């Protein structure tokens, strides 16, 4: 009986390991291609500022509050069309902002309801260093931790200037966070605003 139980435990461990494996290269390709049209670039008078993404077909764009406050802000979609956005919401403490452009979104990203799990694979999409849309892969590095008095997700996915405001995606292309910071020293320590905080913001806009 004990031997049979041991075999079941081993089998369960193998199956669990299979379920926890990160996507293969082709699967990550599908995630990137599926999300790319929903990601935008934010520019200002000094050039490229960061990133954002559509969450609504009517043209709602999510980004960071520190980007939305820049003068002469413009939203550049994947087709290369530049839009002058309307500021709908901004919370500098939370570092979230919602913009609206006068155009239909070509694609939208959905927010995941389940909280991020430590160790799960993630993908950061954005416009790092103004070089165009790029993806970096990593994991959720730690349980949500307080940076100041706010909770942030931590990831080792490469985060560079220009990634701010872009989505942090799970293996199914759902948003689990909004990239907003990286450490000034060291490597592999980036942060994102959890999707749950963004969900509450968007819910407040519809009331």
Q: How far apart are CA 77 and CA 68, in angstroms?
A: 16
Catalytic residue among 37, 83, 164, 170: 164
Mapping DSSP onto H, E and C, the string for 123-171 reads EEEECHHHCCCEEEEEEEEEEEEEECCEEEEEECCCCCCCCCCCEEECC
Catalytic residue among 95, 136, 141, 170: 95
164 is a catalytic site residue: yes
- Do β-strands 60-63 and 150-155 pair in parallel, antiparallel, or remain unpaired? unpaired
51 is a catalytic site residue: no
Q: Dihedrals φ, ψ of 192, to 5°?
A: -145, 145
- Do β-strands 167-169 and 150-155 pair in parallel, antiparallel, or remain unpaired? unpaired
66 is a catalytic site residue: yes
Q: With beta carbons less than 8 A apart as the criterion, state whether 21 and 50 touch.
A: no
Catalytic residue among 56, 66, 156, 196: 66
Q: How far apart are CA 150 and CA 102, in angstroms?
A: 32
Residues involved in catalysis: 66, 95, 164
């Amino acid at each position: 009986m004990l031997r049979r139980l041991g075999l079941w435990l081993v089998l369960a461990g193998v199956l669990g390991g299979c379920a926890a494996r990160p996507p293969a290269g082709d699967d990550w390709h599908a995630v990137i291609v599926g999300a790319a049209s929903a990601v935008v670039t934010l520019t200002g008078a000094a050039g490229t500022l960061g990133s954002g993404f559509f969450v609504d077909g009517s043209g709602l764009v999510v980004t960071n509050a520190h980007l939305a406050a820049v003068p002469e802000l413009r939203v550049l979609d994947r087709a290369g069309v530049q839009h002058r956005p309307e500021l709908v919401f901004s919370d500098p403490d939370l570092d979230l902002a919602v913009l609206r452009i006068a155009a239909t979104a070509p694609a939208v990203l959905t927010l995941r309801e389940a909280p991020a799990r430590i160790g799960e694979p993630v993908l950061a999409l954005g416009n790092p260093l103004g070089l165009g849309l790029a993806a970096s892969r990593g994991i959720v590095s730690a349980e949500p931790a307080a940076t100041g008095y706010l909770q942030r997700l931590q990831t080792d996915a490469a985060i560079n200037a220009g990634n701010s405001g872009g989505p942090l995606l799970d293996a199914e292309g759902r948003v689990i966070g909004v990239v907003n910071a990286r450490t000034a020293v060291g490597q592999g320590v980036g942060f994102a605003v959890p999707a749950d905080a963004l969900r509450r913001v968007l819910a407040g806009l519809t009331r």
